[in-house]
Chain A
């Protein structure tokens, strides 16, 4: 935690950080949890004991048993298999929407920080305005506009998350601009775009990367929330959020339907958070309150 990392670009803070991360115990634990879920998602066709969409009307809402470790759902489908397959939607939602957010937010932040002046003013006002609208309302409206399915839920979450990345990238850019070597590069007469790409971009990687892991966590929860409101993955394909949505009407009769998908969300988000904390510890020494 108290480690100091040289900020000069020569030492590639990134590689130093990675080496440190490998020794960061909770960070690695988070990484392993996430890796396990990724493996589960990718290998779901092999690992899942049943098909996630094979219905069995004679066996609906059965409590967990040896045959069905997590019981069966409202259509007699194996809950364990659905949790495994559901990892695909949730992880995809987490990764893709954060990618979208990053692709929009980071360049915007870079430009705002680098250009300053009215460009910064306009971009910052837009970001302020978007942050002033409750995140979920923004996401619901966008998802309803785009049409409810997983892809659009990811886009909606991505757009709604972009302002956060813009802020992070802007702050990091402003920080980096004060560094000596950038002022030097400027004095030598490098064109602005080259300074931005060559010198500033590498320096904002660390805070952005930290934000990525943390945002993946919130994006997974957001996808689940949207699916919970019926705006996410389409049936019969499972997603943890839509499974929870269906489970809500059987809380008393079949509580396991609500417990397991929620537990899965909790674990994978926990993994991402641990990983993010670890990364923050090793990459970003200038932690702010």
Chain B
């Protein structure tokens, strides 16, 4: 039997809210308006697959666990957990929590939600919690998850969308339509959604942590055009923009009423090479790892970031950014070295210039970055052709192997498994290039079973050593979460996952 550090954290967090909420009599209508970078998909924790969807759901649906600003897992609807043995996870639930329709959030509800994630047709959560064999209700506030195999990433999943508890009666009745009027156990309840226009939530008075909530309403407004987002911030029609593009940061900073909150994110961008997916893998760059290493040496990440992202993003050479618990400091991006790159090419025996077609989703910043890379590689001896492609077509091309190199990003997860497994393990969907190294496969599986962060990190370090040699992916940079907000908006806590947590936030008087 093994207890986690959680006990301590639980005690601290239970004590904390008392300090956080001074007795403020909130003025009648306090509406918080949040700008989103795009319109979310369906607002059902089981069916959503979008990043911004997570942001909106966080306003409505509390999770079993949550992350704090240091990415430590902290209690939310669960107060703690115990591992009876590596395949028996016991969850202790918070007493007195209600769903927004008045149902009790109890062990039955947890069982219902997790079963829904596992069995609902079209569920996007199935793969995340697939290691759960059965769910047993021990008493109203205790649930046991029986696992097929030890899964060190499971707890992180319960701090993600699978951990969002849905009201069983409503979910049962609505089925696939639940996402049109979601009912959860979070601070705000769903009022209305006009797609592409706004999503309106109102305060749920019987929320278990009601004293941490200082708004009557929250509106989420999708604005695709970044210039328009900034204009709305300046005009005061938005209180907070979840994302401000780097080149707009100076504009926001100039405004005396606004400020920028910037922190590392969990995301990364990189180039995935086709090393084994169909005939298109039979290229010089697809067949020679040394050429891919030469390609990397041709890129000056810092200069690239300076030109395209005002120097704000972080150069990286691994999937887990510096904010992650799984970041390995010794894996650093090499400096640009044209001579060394040329030497690698010469040694490979391939005659230059070596053609590389880079598939780029047609967002302006990525196209800009691709052109920077193109001109950086030219003196090295790579003739980079850019194929700008509309996103859905790009994904299709990548999955079917119709590409040589794909410029693609990932929104990132706090747990390393979510950033690596489906990308580097053979046979999985994000492994577009069909990279297949049995050693890496074995290590990825081994990491899932390793008990502690430190033990897992040691396994991941081995993977990065191999990855740096094989180089199926060149990791380039990790973006920052850049939030623009009114200075009068207080209590904003920035967590690297980019989710906007409404608890504790309030307007200055």
Residues of A within 8 A of B (CB): 53, 55, 57, 60, 74-76, 144, 147-149, 229-231, 234-236, 245-246, 248-253
| Given A55-B371, A75-B307, A248-B364, A253 and B388 contact (CB-CB distance below 8 Å) | no
Instruction: Please measure, in the bound complex, the distance between the C-alpha atom of A76 and the C-alpha atom of B225, giving whole angstroms.
Output: 23
Given A53, A230, A250, which contacts B388 in the complex, CB threshold below 8 Å? A230
- Decide if B386 touches A236 in the complex (CB within 8 Å): yes
Q: Other than the known A251-B227, A252-B251, A253-B247, what 8 A-B pairs have Cβ atoms closer than 8 Å?
A: A60-B307, A75-B372, A75-B375, A230-B367, A230-B388, A234-B385, A245-B364, A249-B245
The chain B residue with its CB closest to the CB of A237 is B386
Question: Number of B interface residues, CB 8 Å?
Answer: 31
- Decide if B386 touches A235 in the complex (CB within 8 Å): yes
- Decide if A234 touches B227 in the complex (CB within 8 Å): no
- Decide if A246 touches B364 in the complex (CB within 8 Å): yes
The chain B residue with its CB closest to the CB of A233 is B388
Instruction: Please measure, in the bound complex, the distance between the C-alpha atom of A253 and the C-alpha atom of B226, giving whole angstroms.
Output: 13
| Given A57-B303, A60-B307, A249-B245, A144 and B367 contact (CB-CB distance below 8 Å) | no
Given B247, B363, B365, B367, which contacts A235 in the complex, CB threshold below 8 Å? B367
Identify 27 residue pairs between A and B in the complex whose beta-carbon atoms are under 8 Å apart, listed by A's number. A53-B375, A55-B372, A57-B306, A57-B307, A57-B372, A74-B368, A75-B368, A75-B371, A75-B375, A76-B307, A144-B392, A144-B393, A149-B387, A236-B371, A236-B386, A246-B364, A248-B225, A248-B364, A249-B226, A249-B227, A249-B247, A249-B365, A250-B247, A252-B227, A252-B230, A252-B248, A252-B251
B391 shortest CB reach to chain A, Å: 9
- Decide if B388 touches A234 in the complex (CB within 8 Å): yes
Instruction: Please measure, in the bound complex, the distance between the C-alpha atom of A55 and the C-alpha atom of B303, giving whole angstroms.
Output: 13
- Decide if A249 touches B364 in the complex (CB within 8 Å): yes
A281 shortest CB reach to chain B, Å: 42
- Decide if B247 touches A148 in the complex (CB within 8 Å): no
A148 contacts across to B, CB distance below 8 A: 362, 387-390, 393
B499 at the interface (CB under 8 A from A): no
- Decide if A246 touches B368 in the complex (CB within 8 Å): yes
B281 at the interface (CB under 8 A from A): no
- Decide if A253 touches B390 in the complex (CB within 8 Å): no
Label chain B's interface by main secondary structure: helix
B365 contacts across to A, CB distance below 8 A: 249
B132 at the interface (CB under 8 A from A): no
- Decide if A235 touches B225 in the complex (CB within 8 Å): no
Instruction: Please measure, in the bound complex, the distance between the C-alpha atom of A76 and the C-alpha atom of B245, giving whole angstroms.
Output: 19
A248 contacts across to B, CB distance below 8 A: 225, 227, 364
Residues of B within 8 A of A (CB): 225-227, 230, 245, 247-248, 251, 303, 306-308, 362-365, 367-368, 370-372, 374-375, 385-390, 392-393
Instruction: Please measure, in the bound complex, the distance between the C-alpha atom of A75 and the C-alpha atom of B363, giving whole angstroms.
Output: 15
Instruction: Please measure, in the bound complex, the distance between the C-alpha atom of A234 and the C-alpha atom of B372, giving whole angstroms.
Output: 14
B307 contacts across to A, CB distance below 8 A: 57, 60, 74-76
Instruction: Please measure, in the bound complex, the distance between the C-alpha atom of A230 and the C-alpha atom of B391, giving whole angstroms.
Output: 10
Instruction: Please measure, in the bound complex, the distance between the C-alpha atom of A144 and the C-alpha atom of B367, giving whole angstroms.
Output: 17
Instruction: Please measure, in the bound complex, the distance between the C-alpha atom of A60 and the C-alpha atom of B309, giving whole angstroms.
Output: 12
B305 shortest CB reach to chain A, Å: 11
A265 shortest CB reach to chain B, Å: 19
- Decide if A236 touches B374 in the complex (CB within 8 Å): yes
| Given A75-B368, A252-B251, A147 and B389 contact (CB-CB distance below 8 Å) | yes
B315 shortest CB reach to chain A, Å: 16
B397 shortest CB reach to chain A, Å: 9
A60 contacts across to B, CB distance below 8 A: 307
Instruction: Please measure, in the bound complex, the distance between the C-alpha atom of A75 and the C-alpha atom of B306, giving whole angstroms.
Output: 11
The chain A residue with its CB closest to the CB of B231 is A252
The chain B residue with its CB closest to the CB of A245 is B364
- Decide if A144 touches B230 in the complex (CB within 8 Å): no
A216 shortest CB reach to chain B, Å: 25
B230 contacts across to A, CB distance below 8 A: 252
A244 shortest CB reach to chain B, Å: 11
The chain A residue with its CB closest to the CB of B394 is A148
| Given A248-B227, A249-B227, A234 and B387 contact (CB-CB distance below 8 Å) | yes
| Given A234-B387, A248-B225, A249-B227, A55 and B367 contact (CB-CB distance below 8 Å) | no
Given A144, A235, A250, which contacts B390 in the complex, CB threshold below 8 Å? A144
Given B225, B367, B389, which contacts A246 in the complex, CB threshold below 8 Å? B367
B226 shortest CB reach to chain A, Å: 6
Instruction: Please measure, in the bound complex, the distance between the C-alpha atom of A74 and the C-alpha atom of B304, giving whole angstroms.
Output: 12
- Decide if B370 touches A235 in the complex (CB within 8 Å): yes
B137 shortest CB reach to chain A, Å: 50
A229 contacts across to B, CB distance below 8 A: 362, 390
The chain A residue with its CB closest to the CB of B300 is A57
| Given A75-B307, A236-B374, A230 and B390 contact (CB-CB distance below 8 Å) | yes
The chain A residue with its CB closest to the CB of B228 is A251
Instruction: Please measure, in the bound complex, the distance between the C-alpha atom of A57 and the C-alpha atom of B370, giving whole angstroms.
Output: 14
Instruction: Please measure, in the bound complex, the distance between the C-alpha atom of A236 and the C-alpha atom of B373, giving whole angstroms.
Output: 11
Given B248, B386, B390, which contacts A234 in the complex, CB threshold below 8 Å? B386
Instruction: Please measure, in the bound complex, the distance between the C-alpha atom of A57 and the C-alpha atom of B392, giving whole angstroms.
Output: 31
Instruction: Please measure, in the bound complex, the distance between the C-alpha atom of A245 and the C-alpha atom of B251, giving whole angstroms.
Output: 20
Instruction: Please measure, in the bound complex, the distance between the C-alpha atom of A57 and the C-alpha atom of B311, giving whole angstroms.
Output: 12
The chain A residue with its CB closest to the CB of B369 is A75
| Given A248-B225, A251-B227, A235 and B245 contact (CB-CB distance below 8 Å) | no
B393 contacts across to A, CB distance below 8 A: 144, 147-148
B205 shortest CB reach to chain A, Å: 42
Q: Which of B225, B230, B387, B390 has the most CB of A within 10 A?
A: B390
Instruction: Please measure, in the bound complex, the distance between the C-alpha atom of A41 and the C-alpha atom of B385, giving whole angstroms.
Output: 23
Instruction: Please measure, in the bound complex, the distance between the C-alpha atom of A250 and the C-alpha atom of B248, giving whole angstroms.
Output: 8
B385 contacts across to A, CB distance below 8 A: 234
The chain A residue with its CB closest to the CB of B384 is A236
B204 shortest CB reach to chain A, Å: 38
The 4 A-B pairs of least Cβ separation, nearest first, read A230-B362, A251-B227, A57-B307, A55-B375
The chain A residue with its CB closest to the CB of B393 is A144
Q: Which of A249, A250, A253 has the most CB of B within 10 A?
A: A249
Given A53, A75, A149, A253, which contacts B251 in the complex, CB threshold below 8 Å? A253
A74 contacts across to B, CB distance below 8 A: 307-308, 368
B362 contacts across to A, CB distance below 8 A: 148, 229-231
A230 contacts across to B, CB distance below 8 A: 362-363, 367, 388, 390
The chain A residue with its CB closest to the CB of B391 is A230
Instruction: Please measure, in the bound complex, the distance between the C-alpha atom of A147 and the C-alpha atom of B393, giving whole angstroms.
Output: 8
